[in-house]
Amino acid sequence: MTAALQAFPTAPIASDVAPRDATNDADARDRAPLPGLAGLLLPTEPVRPETSVLDVAQQFLDPRHAGLLSLPVVAVGGRPVGMISRYELMRVFLQPYGRELYGRRPITALMDRAPLVLPLSTSIDEAARTIAAHVKSPITDDFVLVDDAGYAGTGLVLDVLHAVEHRLAERSRELERAYARLKSSQSQLVQSEKMASLGQMVAGLVHEINTPLGYVRNNVEMTRAALGDAARLVSAQQAVIDALTGEAEPDDDLDTRFAEVGHLRTRVDAAALDDLCGLLDDTVHGVGQIGELVLNLKDFSRLDQAGLQKADINRLVESALRIVAHVLRKRDIEVVLKLGEIPPLDCAPAQINQVLLNLLSNAAQAIEHERGRIVVATQALDRRVLVVVEDNGKGIEAEHLPRVFDPFFTTKPVGQGTGMGLAISHQIVEQHGGAIRVSSKPGTGTRFLVVLPVSGAAGAAP
Amino acid sequence: MSAPLPSVLFVDDEERILRSLRMLFRGRCEILTTTSGREAVEWVRRRPVHVVVSDQRMPGMTGVEVLREVAAHSPATMRILLTGYADMDAVTASVNDGEIYRFIEKPWVAQYLVDTVEQAARVARHDFALAAARPAAPAASAADTAIAARVAVLDDDGALPAQVRELLPAAVRVEHAPDLEGTLELLADHDVAVVIARLSSTDGDVAEALKQLKRLRPATLAIVVSSLRDSRLLIGLINEGQVFRFLLQPAPRELLRRGLAAALERHAHLRTQSDLLQRHAVDAPRHEPVATTTGRLLQAWRRLREAATLRIA
């Protein structure tokens, strides 16, 4: 057998594949995967076609071949001609006189003449497909790898399986990462939509609060100044009275005191005090207005709380209207309220507020003429509540209508709309077990209808 | 024609604000009030109005629109914005379109508002009288004003100076100063008509320097180019620095060209009629500029102050 091995021209092949030997190590394959099957190449010493069956059997016992199901049969010049498997040898040797009958015959007598031969450049996926098409049960053979120069080595089916599994795991990790990225960017968008509408709202509120604060502060400052004058007048008058009634020492300065009273009376008189009362009435009104705004703001401050509460939809409508009041007033838009008798509704009030706010500000933005009008109507129907927001603005083109609830869909100029407002509204209404519908006629106006179940999302479930 | 009291027109869509202001200014001036921007413009067309104080957010016309119309019909009228919310667009427009004297936020401090309006009224009465005395004074043409004018560009980058150079006639000298010290030295040695400064941070010395500069050289006009959308910074530049134009970076070519032309014209006008300089009077800056300044910068300031004193003397 030693002689047979020595006679075998293995050296060139062995040296040829020696540099690839490192790839034999499974860890190395994981660390630096070569493209395609090259990463799985084993520099197996092939057997020659004329080698005897017994010698081939001997080679299977070589520890270097312990992991191999089969050995390649390669002709001079590197042309693979067949594959001989342990399974086939075993089948023959187990037969009575099998060893004696076949032992001395060349291996070509037993080999598989149509082994699976794959070019080194084959991709793992393609190899997996080809192997799956060829493989027999039980798996008895590995496969031959060739390059331009002919035989290059062998590859194990098991290694291909591992590689495929590795790639699948890698891909699913990639998918997971992509999914996570998508999810976070979506929640960022929802957040930025929220912030955009919040920013708009805050700007309006700051103005709404600072206006009454402006006259309140001014009125208070003026009242303080006037009270100072009034106090001086009272004490000057008292001094004059005291001098006249003899309560105090009569002094020579009576004339001066009279003059002082006269002067102060030009600054503080009944009319001025009357005016001051008027200013204080304004002040009370202004403080009341600020208080009301702050109260409305409280409803919006818990945007993230989704907790279900009993809420009066009419109050939500009124509070949303107050928040957008500055926009409506700026555009001289008339608001017509037709609020019906509505039972308390199970809902997340902050979220419904967001929907109403979105519909109202969309309606206001759609109006580009001077006779703007927004109708807000509520109505109870069976166990449902209907909310209608209707404007007489420019309307929505028929081709845009089916897309208005799509995320990112906007007809507003760049930077003015995120295209998320109606998408989020749609989501909120659906989560409440309700529905939102739109109808529009370009040039005439748009009507949004929101239907919500009185008993909340749970009650809406079929 | 001199009225005993200056006339001040208040414009606000909130009647209570007007009532409150009427009370505050009673006896101090002839008070006109309206809730409509359009009516305000009509008032100014019909009769002399020394000061207009307008709200910004109103139905129909915004305050900036009102003040722009007022400026067109009656340039001598001083314009003040009194508003409850300073959004960046409104503040920018108030500088560039309204050329306002002060930007005051609600709620205001009564005494500050009274002082500011009275000061504005004094300036306006003076200008009205001046205009009446010299009715036919022809405005200097743009070509005349450009001659021998000097423009300083404060920018650590070369792009802005190059653009300014390209936009101006050859007769105008454009000097590039990469830092504040260089700019101050230029200002100490020469009569600079316009300073164009790129502002890249809110806490730098540049904004404060521009304010100090306005006090020392009221005839020098400042154009600020910045990417900072900071309304507070800009309000400071208006009230304490009387910034002439504020352009958001990258400044559109045409806006920059028009701003430069207007600034050169205004400078020439101010030089011939130094009486008008009061229109550019500023509030005292809230910060002293020396807090963070280096020795070299301090020296530059000193030289500039001396030069300013000499000029006045």
**Structure-model confidence comparison of residues B309 and B48, the more confident one:** B48
Specify if B169 maps to a domain.
yes
Distance CA A239, CA A251 (A): 10
Q: 3-class SS at B85?
A: coil
Which segment of A355-359, B95-99, B130-134, B249-253 scores lowest on mean pLDDT? B130-134
Amino acid B156: pLDDT: 85
Q: B83-116: per-residue pLDDT in tens?
A: 988 888 889 999 999 899 999 999 999 999 999 9
Taking CA A342 as the corner, what is the angle to CA A336 and CA A348, rounded to the nearest 5 degrees? 95
Q: Is the pLDDT of residue A372 over 60?
A: yes
Measured between beta carbons, which residues in chain B are less than 8 angstroms from residue A216?
A: 107
Which residue of chain B has the CA closest to A276? B23
Confidence of residue A107 (pLDDT cuts 50, 70, 90): very high
Q: In percent, how much of chain A has pLDDT > 70?
A: 82
Enter the CATH code of domain A2-155.
3.10.580.10
Measured between beta carbons, which residues in chain A are less than 8 angstroms from residue B21?
A: 218
User: Hey, CA dihedral for B34, B38, B39, B44, is it positive or negative?
Assistant: positive
Average pLDDT, chain B: 86
Specify if B81 maps to a domain.
yes
Residues B216 and B308: beta-carbon distance below 8 Å: yes
The verdict on B16 touching A (C-beta cutoff 8 Å) is yes
CATH assignment at residue B172: 3.40.50.2300
**Largest Cα–Cα distance in chain B?**
56
Amino acid A19: pLDDT: 39
Q: B266 and B161, same structural domain?
A: yes
Residue in A200, A208, A217, A218 to test binding to B, most B beta-carbons within 10 Å: A218
Which segment of A43-52, A80-89, B20-29, B200-209 scores lowest on mean pLDDT? B200-209
Specify if B1 maps to a domain.
no
**Sequence-ordered list of residues with C-beta below 8 angstroms from that of A91, at least 6 positions apart, any chain:** none
Encoded tokens for A17: 């594949």
Confidence of residue B247 (pLDDT cuts 50, 70, 90): very high
Q: B282 and B178, same structural domain?
A: yes
Amino acid B2: pLDDT: 47
Which of A210, A275, A285 minimises the CB distance to B107?
A210
Q: Average pLDDT in the A107-122 region?
A: 91
Picking from B268, B275, B277, B273, the residue whose alpha carbon sits closest to that of residue B242 is B277
Q: CATH classification of A302-460, choosing from 3.30.1280.10, 3.30.565.10, 3.40.50.720, 3.30.420.40?
A: 3.30.565.10
Q: Is the pLDDT of residue A67 over 90?
A: no
Q: B259 and B170, same structural domain?
A: yes
Last-in-domain residue among B88, B108, B133: B133
Residue in B18, B35, B36, B106 to test binding to A, most A beta-carbons within 10 Å: B106
Q: Is the pLDDT of residue A219 over 70?
A: yes
Specify if B269 maps to a domain.
yes
Measured between beta carbons, which residues in chain A are less than 8 angstroms from residue B59?
A: 329-332
Q: B85 and B43, same structural domain?
A: yes
Q: A210 vs B20: CB contact, 8 Å cut-off?
A: no
Measured between beta carbons, which residues in chain B are less than 8 angstroms from residue A288?
A: none
How many Å from the N-terminal Cα to the C-terminal Cα in chain B?
34
Which segment of A136-140, A195-199, A262-266 scores lowest on mean pLDDT? A195-199
Measured between beta carbons, which residues in chain B are less than 8 angstroms from residue A208?
A: 84
Confidence of residue A30 (pLDDT cuts 50, 70, 90): very low
Picking from B138, B244, B148, the residue whose alpha carbon sits closest to that of residue B192 is B148
Domains of chain A, by residue range, sit at 2-155, 188-299, 302-460
**Structure-model confidence comparison of residues B285 and A210, the more confident one:** A210
Which of A211, A216, A332 minimises the CB distance to B84?
A211
Q: Is the pLDDT of residue A4 over 80?
A: no
Amino acid B72: pLDDT: 93
Measured between beta carbons, which residues in chain A are less than 8 angstroms from residue B84?
A: 206-211, 213-214
Considering only CB atoms, which residues of chain A are within 8 Å of chain B?
Answer: 203-204, 206-219, 221-222, 275, 278-279, 282, 285-286, 326, 329-332
Q: B202-229: per-residue pLDDT in tens?
A: 666 788 888 888 888 888 999 999 988 8
CB atoms within 10 A of CB A199: 11
Question: Which of A214-223, A391-400, B167-176 has the highest mean predicted lDDT (pLDDT)?
Answer: A214-223
Instruction: Please state the three-class secondary structure of chain A as a single string.
Output: CHHHHHHCCCHHHHHHHHHHHHHHCHHHHHHCCCCHHHHHCECCCCECCCCEHHHHHHHHHCHHHCCCCEEEEECCCCCEEEEEEHHHHHHHHHCCCHHHHHCCCEHHHCCECCCCEEECCCCHHHHHHHHHHHCCCCCCCCEEEEECCEEEEEECHHHHHHHHHHHHHHHHHHHHHHHHHHHHHHHHHHHHHHHHHHHHHHHHHHHHHHHHHHHHHHHHHHHHHHHHHHHHHHHHHHHHHHHHHCCCCCCCCHHHHHHHHHHHHHHCCHHHHHHHHHHHHHHHHHHHHHHHHHHHHHHHHCCCCCCCEEECHHHHHHHHHHHCHHHHHHCCCEEEEEECCCCCEEECHHHHHHHHHHHHHHHHHHCCCCCCEEEEEEEEECCEEEEEEEECCCCCCCCCHHHCCCCCCCCCCCCCCCCCHHHHHHHHHHHCCCEEEEEEECCCEEEEEEEEECCHHHHHCC
Q: B91 and B190, same structural domain?
A: no
Distance CA B218, CA B234 (A): 18
Q: B172 and B106, same structural domain?
A: no
Amino acid B50: pLDDT: 96
Phi and psi at B33, nearest 5°, equal -135, 150
Which residue of chain B has the CA closest to A284? B16
Last-in-domain residue among B95, B115, B133: B133
Specify if B100 maps to a domain.
yes
**Sequence-ordered list of residues with C-beta below 8 angstroms from that of A13, at least 6 positions apart, any chain:** A43, A45, A46, A74, A78, A151
Q: A308-349: per-residue pLDDT in tens?
A: 788 899 988 998 888 888 778 777 899 999 999 999 988 888
Distance CA A309, CA A64 (A): 74
Q: Which domain holds residue B158?
A: 142-312
Assess: ipTM above 0.85.
no
Q: A255-300: per-residue pLDDT in tens?
A: 787 888 888 888 788 888 888 899 999 999 999 888 877 876 666 5
Average pLDDT, chain A: 82
Q: Average pLDDT in the B251-271 region?
A: 89
The minimum CA-CA distance between B115 and chain A, rounded to whole Å, is 14
The minimum CA-CA distance between A32 and chain B, rounded to whole Å, is 47
Q: B90 and B21, same structural domain?
A: yes
Q: B296 and B175, same structural domain?
A: yes
Residues A99 and A93: beta-carbon distance below 8 Å: yes
Which of A206, A218, A331 minimises the CB distance to B84?
A206
Q: B291 and B185, same structural domain?
A: yes
Amino acid A28: pLDDT: 43
Encoded tokens for B298: 């301090």
Which segment of A195-204, A237-246, B99-108, B287-296 scores lowest on mean pLDDT? B287-296
Q: A330 vs B108: CB contact, 8 Å cut-off?
A: no
Count of domains in chain B?
2
Last-in-domain residue among B109, B133, B157: B133
Amino acid A328: pLDDT: 83
Amino acid A369: pLDDT: 86
Q: B59 vs A330: CB contact, 8 Å cut-off?
A: yes
Amino acid A419: pLDDT: 67
Q: In percent, how much of chain A has pLDDT > 90?
A: 33
**Structure-model confidence comparison of residues A330 and A49, the more confident one:** A49
Amino acid A25: pLDDT: 45
Q: B251 and B281, same structural domain?
A: yes
Rounded to two decimals, the pTM is 0.64
Specify if B2 maps to a domain.
no
Amino acid B57: pLDDT: 84
Q: In percent, how much of chain B has pLDDT > 70?
A: 88
The amino acid at residue A33 is: P
Q: A206 vs B19: CB contact, 8 Å cut-off?
A: no
Amino acid A9: pLDDT: 39
Which of A210, A222, A285 minimises the CB distance to B110?
A222
Confidence of residue B259 (pLDDT cuts 50, 70, 90): very high
User: CA dihedral defined by A273, A279, A280, A282, rounded to 10 degrees?
Assistant: 160
